[in-house]
Amino acid sequence: MPGNTFGEIFRVTTFGESHGQALGCVIDGCPCGLELSVTDIEKELKRRRPSSEYGSRDEKDIPEILSGVFEGKTLGTPIAIIVRNTNQNSADYDDLKNIYRPGHADLTYTAKYGFRDHRGGGRSSGRETLSRVAGGAVAKKFLALFGITIKAWTSAFAGFEYPSFGEENFDLDEVEKNFMRVPCKITEILKEKFDKISEEGNSAGGLISCLVTGTKAGLGEPVFDKLDARLASAVLSIGACKGIEFGAGFSVCSMKGSDNNDKPYEKINDVFKFATNNCGGILGGISTGQDIFFKAAFKPTPSISKEQKAFDKDGNIKEISIKGRHDVCIVPRAVPVVEAMTALVLADFLLLSRCSRV
């Protein structure tokens, strides 16, 4: 079925369901000779796993490379990666077999296919992002050859905003040291807020910022396949993502052209530098050589134990409380997913750029 493959040259097809035997991906178009190991993939998958305090179902997520790699290097042939499910409790969902959970894709999947896997949401589950992260790990290794790095972090949670990139208290080194992946020290206020939401049986949404450094000018395609359009498509394809903005984002609607236009600063080694980056590193759908910067909004985890109303398949309204193990906030776990989707886009455009000139 369509909709399971992403990319043109660097192509990734994902497979698997939340409570099925396994999930994984097949990567086609990765050049030959790239050094790649299971450790590279496992490192990224570990970042996607839930925190011990507030997380959902905890799987070990041990990847296996089935093809495309020999003696530690890619062969240029399809790379198949599989991760087996070992800790699914499908019985938690028995009572929801005929219920359309609020905020989930239960109703829409049934409307499209006439049949669905009710165990943890099946293919529509957030667990599907495991496959994206596995594919993104390979793309990251490829981009590293060109000095391109991708770093994302939690910039807002449940109304709390954290230091923005470039501000005095902003510290990227803190991101991987705390369970919320915020770029600063975790405060007691944040922990108390998190605990309160958890005790209520509720959840919260938030904002993820993403910074790409090392890209040269010229990545992207004109008109219908712009770099920002493809990044938007990639990030919005993550199940819980509901919005994205680049550079100055939605604030441009209240700016004047003289303020929004980035001011020239200097040219160093054939790279044009600007005093600002309101365009987010992309103009005309093509990278400028500045850092690429965007923010993505993520909704609260729809699976909550707090009582709420829901339709059953016959249209009756029921009172339900969702059992099982679910994240209070999906945002910190979505950080490596945003990085992975960004990496897949950039790897694809980097390969496409080789076809642009003689």
The mean-pLDDT minimum among 19-28, 74-83, 106-115 falls in: 106-115
Is the pLDDT confidence value at 9 over 60?
A: yes
163-184 confidence digits (pLDDT tens) = 888 788 899 999 999 999 999 9
Could you tell me the domains of the chain?
A: 5-353 (3.60.150.10)
Question: Rounded CA gap, 154 and 336, in Å?
Answer: 11
**pLDDT average, residue stretch 95-100:** 86
309-346 confidence digits (pLDDT tens) = 999 999 999 998 887 778 899 999 999 999 999 999 99
- Give CA separation, 64 vs 69, 82, 122, 131, 134, in Å: 11, 5, 21, 12, 10
**pLDDT average, residue stretch 141-164:** 93
- Taking every pair of Cα atoms in the chain, the longest distance, rounded to a whole number of angstroms, is 67
Percentage of the chain lying above the pLDDT 70 cut: 96
| Contact criterion met (CB below 8 Å) for 27 and 10 | yes
Q: Where are the alpha helices (H) located in the chain, listed in sequence order?
A: 38-48, 106-113, 129-144, 188-199, 227-236, 257-260, 331-353
Give the pLDDT band (50/70/90) at residue 269: confident
Secondary structure letter of residue 284 according to DSSP? T
39-72 confidence digits (pLDDT tens) = 999 999 999 998 756 556 678 899 999 999 999 9
How many other CB atoms sit within 10 Å of the CB of residue 268? Answer: 8
The pTM (predicted TM-score) of the whole model is 0.94
Owner of token pair 């003289």: 258
**Cα end-to-end span (Å), the chain:** 37
